[in-house]
Structures are given as C-alpha cells and as structure tokens.
C-alpha cells in the first residue's frame, strides 16, 4: 500500500475498508447531500493572499481558547458511534487529542461513557456535546456526570429539533450493530429492557428530542451548571447576536456536517458575516468541510478562533485507531504550519482578514 499522506488518502482507505452500513452512516448527509458536498467545495472558492519577505523561521501554532492554551487551532469535533470505525472508539480519539495538546469533544451518542473517556485521557482538554431533552432530568444527569469527570465545557447542539432526512440510512435500514451501544444511556436501556424485551433505545432517544427548545432554555441551562456553554449550529448573524445576548461563552458555526437541513450554506460562506456581527463579543469556532491546513488558515482569517474536524478523525480511526487519529491530526497541523509560513505568518495573531478573499472579489482587488 502506498503511504497515506493527506486526509483524502485516509478517506479512500476508509471507503474501501468499512462495512457499507457503517460507512454510509459516517459519510452521508441529509437529502440530496448538496450541503454535505458544498461544505468542502466552498473552501476552494476562497483564495489566500500571502505576504512575503517576513521572518517566519520560528512559528508558533498555539492559541488560547476559553482562557486555556492549546497547541493548535484544530480540535476534534463530536461524532457519534465511533466504535463502528474501530473497537477503541472515542477513547482512541481522546487519547490522540491528549497527545497533541488539543481539544476533544465527546458526543452524547458515544460508544464509550463519559467516565471511560475521562479515565483514559485524564489530561486531555475535554468538552461534552449536549442535547437538551424533553426529559430535563436526562440532560441534567449528563451534565452532572460530565462535571464530575472533569469536562471543561458544554457544547449544546441547537440545530436538531428533529432529525434530518438521511436517505442512505433509510435505504440501509440502519440499526446499531449488536456489539455496540449508546454507552451514556446504559441505565435507560436497562429500564426499557425490564419493561419490554424488544429494546429500541435509538427510537426512545429520538422521541426525547425537544422541538420546543427556545432561547430561554439557555438560561435554564446556565442555572444548573457553571461550565462554559458553547452553542453548536449557529448559521446566521441574527442567531449569533442572540447567542451574545444570552451571554454564552462561544458559538460553533456548524450545519451538522450537512446531516440536518440540506440546501443550507456552507459554514465557511457564513463565517465572515457572523464574525463581523459578533465583533469579538464571544469566541467563534467552525466545523464542516475542513480537509486541509489551508482550510484552517482560511477559517481563522475569516473570523474563527479554531476549527473542529469530524469525518477525517473517523477515517484515521478506521485506519489505525489512536495512531490513525493522531496521524490525521498531525497532517492537518503540518499543512497548517506550512500554510502559515508561506503566507508570511509566524503566529496565529499574524493572520489578517484581508489575507483571504472570495473568488468573486478578485476582480475588485
């Protein structure tokens, strides 16, 4: 086998290796998958304007997020059911993030428990992705467990009042493989089993989705936890400003990897206007479509504090567990470092907004 030298190489391997249903669950998007594909293509519409003859012999990729220094502005996004890619699942991903000195976000729908991840990667900067369920006690219990386990922020997903239409999963009649489970809901699964021998935990959890969730519920959340709160799923300046109004600690510009509403904008296309609206009143992060170090540079120039990657981590996980995740993240780090140098920047603070321009504006420069 030829060496894997970029994220696309790991993706091609995963496409050839993973069982069809598992692969389709990871790779697919909502509807016709217009947004899924545009998340990646949109980065190609932006051009870097490098500066030259600057001393870039020493470069520092570190940044500060929520007051904590991390090694690079590239973290691991929450993705569910990671044991479908590798038996070590989220534990492998968290340990890779720990080695790299960056942030790992654990999905609520993980195959490893909050406690297992915390024990396996005690020194990793860990955030917990959260849903506010109809049964608020379920949400409260998850928060309390995350707090006890040393997680340092809550990433509240706000773009899932209902689950998007994912045709690949429908065609495959996707169900959880027998050997894995929604690990954070073992007690609920046990209760359901006692009531009914035919346990359908995914259906039960889907029934808990709260389509009535509103901005005032953020205030409820703030009352029951002292952890910083980040809203994941912001796609407009209007909602970004409402997030600032309720004093959240950060917003994650995200369209759920193209898995919720098809036909929405690519995340990179809305980033600049959101950043301009917010005016540094809260931290801004981005996920969706990041596949290269140049993508990281573009996102930072357009207003993101850092980016998070999801599917590339799964491809690395499928290839070689913890080492595969670490390798993928190091590729992105190396590519970003090279981009930084070739753009005339020694640190992240050297990146300026005018160093990236949309292709439609090139004739006006």
Active site residues: 256
How far is residue 121's CA from residue 231's CA, in Å, rounded to a whole number? 24
Burial grade of 259 (CB within 10 A; 0-12, 13-18, 19 or more): buried
Q: Which residue has the tokens 């005016």?
A: 279
Q: 135-148: string of b/e by CB count within 10 Å (b at 16+)? A: eeebbbbbbebbbe
Q: Are 76 and 329 in contact (CB under 8 A)?
A: yes
Contact between 91 and 117 (Cβ < 8 Å): yes
Cα 43 to chain centroid distance, Å, stands at: 17
C-beta separation of 36 from 289 below 8 A = no
User: Angle at CA 253, nearest 5°, toward 133 and 35?
Assistant: 95
Are the C-beta atoms of 325 and 317 separated by less than 8 Å? yes
What does the block give as tokens for 170?
């429908």
Which residue stretches of the chain are H helix? 7-17, 20-27, 34-41, 89-100, 114-120, 136-148, 167-172, 186-195, 201-207, 216-224, 237-245, 267-278, 293-301, 311-342
- Spatial distance between the Cα atoms of 230 and 265, rounded to a whole number of angstroms: 21
DSSP state for residue 61 in the 8-state scheme: -
Opening angle at CA 265, ends 264 and 267, nearest 5: 120
Distance CA 113, CA 90 (A): 9
Helix 20-27 vs helix 7-17: crossing angle, to nearest 10: 140
């Amino acid at each position: 086998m030829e060496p894997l030298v970029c994220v696309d190489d790991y993706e091609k391997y995963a496409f050839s290796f993973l069982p069809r249903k598992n692969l389709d669950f990871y790779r697919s998007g909502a509807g016709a998958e217009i947004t899924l594909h545009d998340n990646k293509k949109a980065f190609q519409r932006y051009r870097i304007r490098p500066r030259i003859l600057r001393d870039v012999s020493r470069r520092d990729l570190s940044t500060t997020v929520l007051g904590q220094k991390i090694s690079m502005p590239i973290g691991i996004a929450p993705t569910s059911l990671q044991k479908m890619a590798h038996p070590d699942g989220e534990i492998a991903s968290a340990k890779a993030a720990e080695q790299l000195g960056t942030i790992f976000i654990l999905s609520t729908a993980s195959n490893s428990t909050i406690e297992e991840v915390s024990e396996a990667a005690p020194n990793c900067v860990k955030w917990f992705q959260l849903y506010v369920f109809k049964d608020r006690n379920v949400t409260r219990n998850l928060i309390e467990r995350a707090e006890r386990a040393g997680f340092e922020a809550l990433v509240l997903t706000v773009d899932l009042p209902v689950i998007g239409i994912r045709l690949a999963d429908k065609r495959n009649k996707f169900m959880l493989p027998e050997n894995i489970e929604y690990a954070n809901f073992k007690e609920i699964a046990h209760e359901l089993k006692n009531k009914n021998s035919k346990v359908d935990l995914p259906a039960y959890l889907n029934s808990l989705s709260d389509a009535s969730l509103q901005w005032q519920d953020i205030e409820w959340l703030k009352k029951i936890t002292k952890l910083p709160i980040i809203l994941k799923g912001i796609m407009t300046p209007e909602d970004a400003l409402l997030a600032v109004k309720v004093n959240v600690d950060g917003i994650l510009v995200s369209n759920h990897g193209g898995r919720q509403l098809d036909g929405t904008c690519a995340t990179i296309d809305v980033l600049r206007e959101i950043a301009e609206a917010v005016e540094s009143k809260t931290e801004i992060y981005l996920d969706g479509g990041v596949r290269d170090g140049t993508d990281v540079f573009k996102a930072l120039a357009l207003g993101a504090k850092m980016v998070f990657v999801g599917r590339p981590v799964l491809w690395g996980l499928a290839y070689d567990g913890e080492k595969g995740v670490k390798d993928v993240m190091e590729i992105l780090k190396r590519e970003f470092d090279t981009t930084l140098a070739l753009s005339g920047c020694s640190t992240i603070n050297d990146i300026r907004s005018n160093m990236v321009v949309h292709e439609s504006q090139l004739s006006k420069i």
